[in-house]
Amino acid sequence: MSDLYRSAMQARLAKLPQLPHPASDAGEEEEETDSIGALPSSTMAPPRQRSRRTPNPAFTPLSGASFFSDALQVDVPASQLDMRVYYTAPQARQGAGTVMVCHHGAGFSGLSFACFSKEVSEMTAGECGVLSVDARRHGKTVPTGGSPDEDLSISTLVQDLTNLIQTIFPDPSAAPTFLLVGHSMGGAVVVRACPLLQELKYTVGGVAVLDVVEGTALEALPHMPMILNARPDGFGSIEEAIEWHVTANQIRNPTSARISVPSLIVPSPSDPQTLRLHPFVWRTPLRSTASYWESWFKGLSSSFLSARSARLLVLAGTDRLDKELMIGQMQGKFQMVVVPGTGHMLHEDDPSKLAETLVEFWRRNERVVAGIKKVGEL
């Protein structure tokens, strides 16, 4: 979830971050107190619009075309979704190879793994592929047949990912080995998808969770309304949205932000009665996902530790683990790596370091000596 893990740790120090708002005109504060019921009439002046800033060329959007081989819309009838995936297939020397299946956090999209994907391809000379997914209500994934897509419960998200894998790779015996990688909410999805895919006879070589721990995530939930209040409701341009993410330290890598942020916003619906006008608004307003937060993270630690595959936890700081993970770490049940100098979006902040970590994790667990079981195998 956006800013969840890092903000929770800051909350423990009793000091939540005060994130900067995009530049606004002098009357904006007054407009925030207007009632939504105070609609303009014939005796009222028309609603004021924010003065538009000239887009900063330093934050011009970048295409993800050079970071993945393909961008595809995949019809997934079982989920009633037309799902956007970004894919670079493995150039396997033998067999079907390995694909890192990446699932983003709440409010983000598959393009948050764009720079990471390119690093993986270069480090492995194409031997390891990357498949990055837009979840329902995110990015360019859309419902089909007029079906609703509001449900972001953990069971639905897990089933969506499983259905997608079955659609793209219908024959488990011919499918590549999967290394499941999930950031924040996505981490909760991949650890629960792992046993389902294995039951379907797919090979899962490892599960990697990025910057989320159950105990810390659940402790952070009461602070989320305050955190979300620090986020702007909309933006004057795509460049302004990118700039906010960078200057607010939401994403510390400007190149990655220029690729991923455009997929997080959409043109604002036309509404002449709207008092505060933003040309662009959030594609997935995080407040609208609040009813699902607890379901995402409750039971995450036990699901992670029970995964019958190699396990990796990557954190942005040396923050304490919850009790279950602390015991698991002492028992050697998973590998933990800290990526210094990054925030919650560590896969965007330092894609090279994360790629190095995951490629090493893949190589170590993909080439285990015959007869020796991998970590977590029965």
**Catalytic residue positions, numbered:** 184, 211, 344
What six digits make up the tokens of 287?
A: 């407040």
Single out the residue of 129, 84, 119, 124 nearest to residue 104, CA to CA: 84
What residues have CB less than 8 Å from 186, skipping those under 6 apart?
102, 103, 104, 105, 135, 210
In the chain, what are the helix, strand and coil shares in percent, each to the nearest 5?
40, 15, 45
d(CA 16, CA 222): 12
Distances (CA, A) of 323 to 6, 14, 82, 327, 338: 18, 22, 40, 6, 18
C-alpha distances out from residue 17 to 114, 215, 225, 244, 343, Å: 27, 20, 13, 14, 13
CA distance 199 to 204: 11
